[in-house]
């Protein structure tokens, strides 16, 4: 049995694909998502074997979404798109399977056969997925939103997850500190903290050899001794 998740902002497309997958007795659709933020949460929660992912979605595209997932947690990805076949040659070269809209049942059957084989196509660097993040998908207080990276002061982990603190808003994100460090300009200042250099007002040195960052809004962020030298170098402090 293969488990699947459908992520597409168009309800008719989700319904069409779900109906086609229902004809396969060994495919279980765990759920549907209408945007990338919902999709990131569902992938973490449901851990599907395969994700049928629309490329062209508002705010965060399917390609951008793939780049927000740790490689170790990345399920098989099948792009579902209205792109023509010439544009899709790039995806074939980067090991992603794809389905063209409207979906051809015979083409879907070939995709399912490949998935059943258990062979993972090597490589996860889909075109466009390695670009730097411009915004961080967040949720909080019964809403989801995208926080522009230049508004982020710092990010930290706690018992509730990864918390994103902006100048005026804050929320929880499904992105890991590892992905945020690799895919953005945020830098690590502590085992549990990343900080935006542009939001630093000053660094206060402590007697124990560590330090505290004071952000432009007055919030305090710890700097461990291990990361203090890098912080000074990045800020050109002798």
DSSP 39-87: HHHHHHHH--SEEEEES--SSS-HHHHHTTS-GGG--EEEEEE---HHH
> pLDDT below 70 — which residues of the chain?
84-96, 119-131, 238
Residue 161 DSSP label: E
Tokens of 154: 């710092």
Cα–Cα distance for residue pair 203/214, rounded to 1 Å: 6
Cα-Cα-Cα-Cα dihedral sign, residues 171, 65, 16, 76: negative
Cβ atoms of 194 and 200 closer than 8 Å: no
* pLDDT the model gives residue 53: 93
* pLDDT the model gives residue 189: 95
| Secondary-structure percent of the chain, ordered helix, strand, coil, rounded to 5 | 30, 35, 35
Cα–Cα distance for residue pair 150/91, rounded to 1 Å: 31
All domains in the chain, ordered by first residue = 2-117 (3.40.50.2300), 138-234 (2.40.50.1020)
Cα–Cα distance for residue pair 47/144, rounded to 1 Å: 21
Cβ atoms of 144 and 138 closer than 8 Å: yes
Number of Cβ within a 10 Å radius of residue 214: 14
* pLDDT the model gives residue 95: 46
Cβ atoms of 211 and 237 closer than 8 Å: no
Cβ atoms of 78 and 97 closer than 8 Å: yes
2-7/27-33 β-pairing: parallel
Cβ atoms of 152 and 165 closer than 8 Å: yes
Cβ atoms of 173 and 162 closer than 8 Å: yes
Look at the pTM and tell me if it is higher than 0.85.
no
* pLDDT the model gives residue 103: 94
Cα–Cα distance for residue pair 197/152, rounded to 1 Å: 10
Across-strand partners of 51? 5, 77
Q: Name which of 224, 238, 2, 236 is nearest 113 in CA terms.
A: 2
């Amino acid at each position: 049995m293969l488990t699947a998740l459908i992520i597409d902002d168009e309800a008719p497309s989700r319904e069409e694909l779900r109906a086609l997958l229902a004809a396969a007795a060994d495919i279980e659709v765990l759920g549907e998502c209408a945007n990338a933020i919902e999709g990131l949460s569902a992938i973490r929660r449901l851990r599907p074997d395969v994700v049928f992912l629309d490329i062209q979605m508002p705010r965060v595209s399917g390609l951008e979404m793939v780049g927000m997932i740790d490689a170790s947690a990345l399920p098989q990805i099948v792009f579902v798109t209205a792109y023509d076949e010439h544009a899709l040659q790039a995806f074939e070269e980067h090991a992603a399977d794809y389905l063209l809209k409207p979906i051809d049942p015979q083409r879907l059957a070939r995709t399912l056969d490949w998935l059943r084989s258990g062979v993972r196509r090597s490589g996860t660097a889909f075109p466009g997925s390695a670009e730097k993040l411009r915004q961080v998908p967040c949720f909080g207080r019964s809403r989801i939103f995208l926080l522009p990276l230049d508004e982020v002061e710092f990010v930290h982990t706690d018992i509730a997850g990864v918390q994103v603190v902006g100048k005026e808003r804050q929320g929880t994100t499904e992105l890991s500190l590892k992905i945020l460090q690799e895919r953005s300009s945020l830098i690590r200042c502590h085992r549990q903290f990343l900080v935006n250099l542009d939001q630093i007002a000053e660094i206060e040195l402590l007697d124990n050899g560590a330090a505290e960052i004071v952000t432009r809004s007055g919030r305090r962020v710890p700097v461990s001794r291990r990361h203090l030298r890098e912080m000074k170098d990045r800020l050109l402090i002798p």
